[in-house]
Amino acid sequence: MKDKLVLKEDHVYELPKEGRMRVPGRIYSSQSLLEHPGMDSAIQQVANVATLPGIVDFSMAMPDIHWGYGFPIGGVAAFRTESNGNGMGVISPGGVGFDINCGVRLLRTDLVEQDIRSKQKELIDELYNEVPAGLGSKGKITLSDREIDSVLSIGAKWAADEGYLWESDLDVLEENGCIENSSPENVSHYARKRGRKQVGSLGSGNHFLEVQKVDEVFDEEAAKAFGLFEGQAVVMMHTGSRGCGHQVCQDHLDCVLRASKREGIDLPDKQLAAAPLDTKEAQEYLGAMSSAANFAWANRSLISYATRRAFSNVFGGDGKSLGMDTVYDVSHNIAKIEKHSGEDLCVHRKGATRAFGPGSLDIPSKYRSFGQPVIVPGDMGTSSYVLSGTSGAMAKTFGSTCHGAGRAMGRKAAFKKFDSKDLVKRLWEKDRIYVRARSPRVVSEEAPGAYKNVSDVVDVCHASGIANKVVRLKPMGVVKG
């Protein structure tokens, strides 16, 4: 598939429309990133997405693209919400993924690197104790039937009402931490059961809680607006809707696939199961997915609460006195109805992040001159980034950019290649990064060598104008499942 790509401009490759494709593909990348193993399969998925009814402009992929379920991870696609002669658009669970509203939240602090270094192991151990993590891990509270309904309905607002989150935090969460068209009634009993004990937990795999330092500032004005400065200590968390979201996806796949067949949608891959947006199946999935997204915002909110408590236990004072405000919270596995060029579209971002540009009324007023903060995690041994959304992203990618480094190696291959004990030892002795993990296997699977170079990914986004570099972050301590 790579040999079909045509370089249209710097870092923008086009996959020409052919066969059943309704639109061309468009991939933001570089020659070196396109050389990673498995890229042909991911590009084929870009072509497959382009066959879905009602798709607008392009089937897109960000520079962290790799193979996923149905859609490639790093995939972006927008679909019409009304038929205009070119067909009604669809919604596809494969364009969201199983971990609905997997996302990233960044907390700033008034502490600096030396403050952390003086109590580095003590702090990470305290975070490890305060925040449950790992496969099947349970949070420290169990939600009642009434509470799970509230979480599914109002998301982070529930956490604020219960005292786990500051009211000021809500202003800097994507969608203010709640999609209002959620429909908890379309979330199954089993999905609720799986989520009831997991709110406030990290999960396993690529999910983490990381204490970082601001290593380099690229855009002084934007960094100041975001509350960031060189040498500052910050905390990044990456997790989603846990078992609740996974079950929501699982519960609706068969229904949506049956709707695909009933509506005569010719799928190149059944993992692309998609239902026209005006069908009962589509609306039920969209409502349930929105409810799971709300669960994820509540989940990250309880982790924020536990993080502030851990810092307080180690450094004294409280979250307020330590300056632990939320910078922003972004989603990267979600489908939402958004207005672009005056038209309501259903925008799927699967392993891609919203990156709305300056002037957008959908981002907090204090950031509006600079664009939405975009939080891009790398791997636990190198770096992460904070970017800002751009007008270029609004014009080219429906306000979307990359979500992370993107895997360069499968989990099984990484497990065979990297020894967890050696890796933890090296990260501490060479880089002074202290790692606490529930599972040695996860350390091997999440080794820095299993990921693409996040700086290469971010540089493509910056150079192609779909994000602006603001700061680079370096890890000091990591909690993994």
User: Which DSSP string do the residues of 255-309 spell out, in sequence order?
Assistant: HHHHHHHHTT---SSGGG--EETTSHHHHHHHHHHHHHHHHHHHHHHHHHHHHHH
Across residues 147-154, what is the average pLDDT?
A: 97
What is the predicted pLDDT for the residue at 85?
63
- Choosing from 66, 246, 403, 462, the catalytic residue is 403
Phi-psi region of 465 (alpha: psi -120 to 50; beta: other; left: phi over 0): left
- Non-local (6+) Cβ contacts of 299 within 8 A are 139, 198, 199, 200, 201, 239, 240, 241, 242
Q: Three-class SS of residue 132?
A: coil
Q: Coil, helix or strand for 90? A: strand
Amino acid at 29: S
Whether 207 has a pLDDT exceeding 80, the answer reads yes
Q: Closest Cα partner for 322 from 232, 432, 426, 240?
A: 232
Render pLDDT for 283-315 as a digit per residue (tens, 0 to 9).
Answer: 999 999 999 999 999 999 999 999 999 999 999
Nearest alpha carbon to residue 235 among 300, 299, 286: 300
Q: Which residues pair with 328 in a beta bridge?
A: 106
Tell whether the model's pLDDT for residue 362 goes beyond 70: yes
Q: What pLDDT is stored for residue 1 in this prediction?
A: 79
| Residue 182 contacts residue 287 (beta carbons within 8 Å) | yes
What proportion of the chain, given as a percentage, has pLDDT over 70?
99
| pLDDT for res 82 | 86
How many whole angstroms separate alpha carbon 295 and alpha carbon 334?
Answer: 13
Question: What pLDDT band is residue 277 in, cutting at 50, 70 and 90?
Answer: very high
Distances (CA, A) of 171 to 160, 273, 305: 12, 35, 16
Q: How confident is the model at residue 86 (pLDDT cuts 50, 70, 90)?
A: low
Write down the pLDDT at residue 481.
81
Q: Would the pLDDT of 375 be above 70?
A: yes
Quote the tokens at residue 115. Answer: 């403050």
User: Can you tell me the mean pLDDT for 198-217?
Assistant: 93
Closest alpha carbon to 303 in 207, 210, 234, 200:
200
| Separation of alpha carbons 358 and 372, rounded Å | 7
For the ranges 84-93, 131-140, 405-414, the lowest mean pLDDT is seen at 131-140
332 is known as an active-site residue:
no
Q: Are 248 and 100 in contact (CB under 8 A)?
A: yes
Name the pLDDT band for 367 (thresholds 50, 70, 90): very high
pLDDT of residue 88: 86
The pLDDT of residue 195: 94
- Give me the mean pLDDT over the 385-397 stretch: 98
Q: What is the mean pLDDT of residues 388-394?
A: 98
Element (H, E) at 457: helix 454-463
Judge whether 156 and 298 are in contact, CB under 8 Å: yes
CA distance 65 to 77: 13
Using pLDDT thresholds of 50, 70 and 90, give the confidence band for residue 141. Answer: confident
Domain ranges of the chain: 82-330+350-480
Is residue 23 over pLDDT 70?
Answer: yes
> How do residues 106-117 score in pLDDT, each as one tens digit?
999 999 999 999
Quote the pLDDT of residue 204. 81
**134-148, 201-215, 332-346, 350-364: the lowest-pLDDT one:** 134-148
Residue 243 is predicted with a pLDDT of 94
CATH number of 82-330+350-480: 3.90.1860.10
Q: Would you state the pLDDT for residue 134?
A: 67
pLDDT digits (tens, 9 = 90+) for 58-71: 999 999 999 999 99
Contact between residue 393 and residue 399 where contact means Cβ atoms under 8 Å apart? yes
Q: Is it the case that residue 87 has pLDDT exceeding 80?
A: no
In the predicted model, is pLDDT for residue 206 greater than 90?
A: no
Spatial distance between the Cα atoms of 100 and 334, rounded to a whole number of angstroms: 6
Residue 14 pLDDT > 70, yes or no?
yes
SS3 108: strand
Mean pLDDT computed over 166-179: 96
Residues 6+ apart with CB under 8 A from 224: none
